[in-house]
């Protein structure tokens, strides 16, 4: 047996535990230029790693744990790749006993997040940092680039982050690694990731069963079908490897390999934890739950065999034409895609609920980005999910559509046929289907409550004939409001809006009669023509927590943070505010509520003048009337600090010379506060007063004589 005695402080990072995952992670670190200390309780694994891969890069092996720790540069970083549970606690205690204040222990195993919260607290009490990092991608991912989800303290990520980002998979040049949040946040999202994986695998298996049992298709034929699907929106790692498995043939029997594999699936616990945690958080994760239960059922062969005799187990379908076969395959494809979306959506719902419960600042858009490569659930539509968390680019389209409805160009009871393009719009969705007929009121409700991109798109097409025409109208509307935007940017969702822009748009939307019908709803549902129901739950928490809140919209992106436009009305006062750059949805709501409550507490809405209100009377010379009543040309409302008094400066003539036109501005009153002009009321005559002629004077004299 060899004796490894490393040089002190010679390694950038260390890996404890050299099973397949640990060894491959160490090789990945070393290959990316980091001198990597390696240690295993059974030294044979250390020797195997050095014998097979020692010449790949800089490895620093150690025979004792003391030498392993001593070889690490400060602040030391030691990664544990050991079995979850008591083994992790035992190794952690061994490492902590040899480490100094500020050193970092990293658990890259699949630990339960509540254990990670406990361990982080234990480490902090000893002056150490503890990082629970989810690592997805299996053996190949660990070696060539996984998706990494580290939690812990921000300070630990400052030291660890650059190394993890260097070894992570990349997508469009972006590392599939980001800081997730405090203590157990990293392991929490990895747990949910695995739960989504359970559901994804289950629905693929169910699609296989429908094609195998329903069509009588062979595994090879299904492989071809899946391969074609993998070229489109269903492209994913799991579809890819499913195709490979289905094409395998057993050399001895000549039978498809899938028919010879024991159909019993084990589980490591993350799926179960996901479901248990969802129950604790009161979040429905039905797709993940059913997948987890299906794994349990697969381990009961006798029970499943008994179920095969039930009447519901029908034989293959009778399909008499190629067209019917193709239609059935397309139905299964769409069902699979919808099921995947549901699974991912439920997973993200659980992540949001967990973040709120444990006060984690989790960026869901960032999660979608780091899951696009390296991890098991990587799929093409994660790119769509990433874009879905961008600050809402659909608001200008919605503004234009509401203008059209308010103007009578589109009735709430009108029926709209949803286009294929509208049904495929990513982001918050009303789950509209192509060619579905939907009432404008239904689409507007989905748009107002959850900013459903598909509903907004469908409204825009219905109101203007095409989304391009709607974008042109939206651009014209924004430009009239002083907001510079190109129609092309609006149409493709690339328009960028400032906080001031958002407030202006929010103000216009909040005064829209049709939008106001639904914008204050926190939870509701819509009914589709095929009987489906889509639940609508607003992400605007102020509707429940801030009196008078009636909209408007929320969104988030990695660049802008959590953003929102919020409107609230109390009495005659309506205030609009915008939040940009919040860390999470809770902070966004808290900042918005603070601004609105301050506004209502500090300011009053004062009506200076009502349109047509009589302000003054002025003598008219040589007119058919001797006096002109001056009225306010327009109503003027001011926002004033509470208990403040306005000063007025009147500019009203002593006498007018006929003729007098009611369209002419004849005077004004300027209102100021502390020397600053606040408002100006222009005055006009309440009626036209023509110049008087001779007949008029004769008539007046005669009238006075008769009444004398």
Q: Give the active site residues.
A: 190, 197
Torsional class of 457: left (φ above 0), alpha (ψ -120 to 50), beta (otherwise): alpha
Determine phi and psi for 340, rounding to 5 degrees.
-60, -45
530/358 Cα distance (integer angstroms): 40
What's 680-693 look like in SS3? Answer: EEEEEECCCECECC
Alpha helices by DSSP H, listed for 359-465, are: 364-370, 382-388, 395-406, 420-423, 440-450, 453-464
Give one DSSP letter per residue of 252-263, joined into a string. Answer: TT-SBGGGTS--
Buried b (16+ CB within 10 A) or exposed e, 201-211: bbbbbbbbebb
Contact 355, 293 (CB under 8 A): no
Q: Which of these, 430, 404, 363, 30, lies nearest to 186 by C-alpha position?
A: 363
Q: From CA 137, how far away is CA 135, in angstroms rounded?
A: 7
Which is nearest to 342 in space by CA: 350, 232, 375? 350
Residues in the chain: 708
Would you say 628 and 652 are in contact if contact means Cβ atoms under 8 Å apart?
no
Is residue 108 within 8 A of residue 80, CB to CB? The reply is: yes
Question: Rounded to the nearest 10 degrees, what angle do helices 219-229 and 237-246 cross at?
Answer: 160
Sequence-ordered alpha helix ranges (H) in 236-321: 237-246, 270-281, 286-298, 301-307
Residues 464, 550, 606: CA angle, nearest 5 degrees: 105
Rounded to the nearest angstrom, the gap between the alpha carbon of residue 541 and the centroid of all alpha carbons in its chain is 15
Q: What is the largest CA-CA distance in the chain?
A: 137
Q: Where are the alpha helices (DSSP H) in 416-570?
A: 420-423, 440-450, 453-464, 467-480, 487-492, 499-510, 513-516, 542-545
Find the angle CA(574)-CA(580)-CA(581) to the nearest 5 degrees.
150
Q: Are 470 and 483 in contact, with CB atoms under 8 Å apart? A: no
**Rg for the chain (alpha carbons), in Å?**
35
Beta carbons within 10 angstroms of residue 587's beta carbon? 15
Query: Distance between CA atoms of 393 and 457, rounded to whole angstroms?
Result: 11
Question: Residue 635 has which token pair?
Answer: 């109503």
Helix ranges (H only) for 603-693 are none
> Could you give the strand order of the β-sheet that contains 573-582, starting from the edge strand earlier in sequence?
549-557, 561-570, 573-582
Q: Which of 685, 609, 596 is nearest to 646 (CA)?
A: 609
Q: How far from 357 is each of 128, 204, 350, 351, 586, CA to CA, in Å?
A: 25, 32, 10, 10, 11
Question: How far is the C-alpha of 109 from the C-alpha of 147, rounded, in Å?
Answer: 13
Tokens of 456: 């907004």
Q: Are 124 and 105 in contact (CB under 8 A)?
A: no
């Amino acid at each position: 047996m060899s004796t490894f005695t490393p040089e002190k402080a010679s390694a950038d990072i260390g890996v404890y535990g050299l099973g397949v995952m640990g060894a491959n992670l160490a090789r990945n670190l070393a290959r990316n230029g980091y001198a990597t200390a390696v240690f295993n309780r059974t030294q044979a694994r250390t020797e195997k790693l050095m014998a097979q891969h020692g010449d790949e890069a800089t490895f620093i092996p150690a025979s004792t744990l003391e030498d392993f720790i001593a070889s690490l540069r400060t602040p030391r970083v030691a990664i544990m790749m050991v079995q979850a549970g008591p083994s992790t606690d035992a190794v952690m205690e061994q490492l902590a006993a040899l480490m100094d204040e500020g050193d970092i222990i990293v658990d890259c195993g699949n630990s339960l997040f509540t254990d990670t919260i406990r361990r982080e607290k234990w480490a902090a009490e000893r002056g150490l940092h503890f990082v629970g990092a989810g690592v997805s991608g299996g053996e190949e991912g660990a070696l060539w680039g996984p998706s990494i989800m580290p939690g812990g303290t921000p300070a630990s990520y400052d030291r660890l982050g650059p190394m993890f980002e260097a070894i992570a998979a990349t997508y469009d040049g972006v590392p599939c690694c980001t800081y997730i949040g405090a203590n157990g946040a990293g392991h929490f999202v990895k747990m949910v990731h695995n739960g989504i994986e359970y559901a994804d695998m289950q629905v693929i298996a169910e699609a296989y069963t429908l094609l195998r049992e329903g069509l009588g298709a062979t595994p090879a034929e299904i492989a071809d079908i899946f391969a074609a699907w993998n070229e489109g929106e269903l492209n994913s790692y799991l579809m890819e490897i499913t195709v490979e498995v289905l094409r395998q043939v057993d050399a001895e029997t000549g039978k498809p390999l899938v028919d010879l594999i024991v159909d019993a699936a084990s589980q490591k616990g993350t799926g179960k934890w996901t479901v248990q945690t969802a129950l604790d958080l009161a979040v429905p994760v039905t797709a993940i739950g059913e997948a987890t239960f299906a794994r349990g059922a697969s381990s009961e062969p006798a029970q499943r065999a008994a179920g095969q005799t039930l009447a519901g187990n029908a034989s293959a379908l009778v399909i008499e034409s190629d067209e019917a076969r193709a239609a059935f395959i397309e139905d299964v494809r769409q069902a699979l895609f919808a099921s995947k979306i549901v699974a991912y959506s439920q997973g993200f719902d659980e992540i949001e609920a967990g973040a709120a419960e444990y006060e984690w600042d989790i960026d869901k858009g960032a999660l979608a980005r780091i899951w696009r490569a390296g991890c098991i659930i990587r799929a093409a539509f994660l790119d769509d999910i990433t874009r879905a968390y961008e600050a809402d680019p659909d608001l200008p389209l919605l503004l234009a559509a509401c203008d059209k409805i308010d103007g009578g160009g589109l009735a709430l009871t009108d029926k709209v046929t949803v286009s294929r393009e509208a049904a495929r719009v990513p982001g918050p969705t009303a789950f509209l289907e192509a060619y579905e007929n939907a009432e404008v009121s239904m689409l507007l409700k989905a748009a107002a409550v959850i900013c459903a991109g598909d509903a907004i798109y469908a409204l825009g097409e219905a109101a203007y004939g095409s989304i391009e025409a709607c974008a042109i109208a939206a651009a014209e509307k924004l430009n009239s409001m002083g907001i510079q935007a190109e129609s092309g940017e609006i149409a493709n969702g690339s328009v960028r809006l400032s906080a001031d822009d958002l407030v202006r748009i929010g103000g216009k939307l909040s005064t829209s009669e049709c939008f106001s019908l639904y914008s204050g709803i926190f939870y509701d549902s819509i009914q589709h023509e095929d009987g489906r129901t889509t639940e609508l739950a607003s992400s605007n928490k102020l509707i429940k927590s801030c009196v008078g809140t009636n909209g408007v919209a929320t969104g988030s992106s990695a660049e802008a943070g959590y953003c929102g436009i919020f409107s609230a009305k109390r009495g005659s006062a309506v205030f609009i505010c915008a939040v940009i750059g919040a860390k999470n949805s809770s902070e966004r709501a808290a900042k918005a509520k603070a601004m609105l409550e301050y506004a209502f507490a500090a300011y009053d809405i004062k009506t200076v003048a009502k349109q047509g209100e009589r302000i003054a009377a002025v003598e008219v010379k040589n007119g058919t009337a001797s006096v002109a009543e001056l009225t306010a040309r327009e109503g003027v409302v001011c926002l004033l600090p509470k208990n403040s008094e306005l000063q007025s400066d009147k500019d009203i003539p002593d006498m007018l010379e006929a003729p007098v036109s009611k369209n002419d501005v004849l005077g004004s009153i300027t209102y100021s506060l502390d020397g600053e002009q606040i408002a100006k009321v222009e005055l006009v005559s309440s009626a036209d007063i023509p110049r008087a002629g001779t007949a008029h004077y004769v008539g007046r004299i005669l009238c006075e004589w008769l009444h004398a």
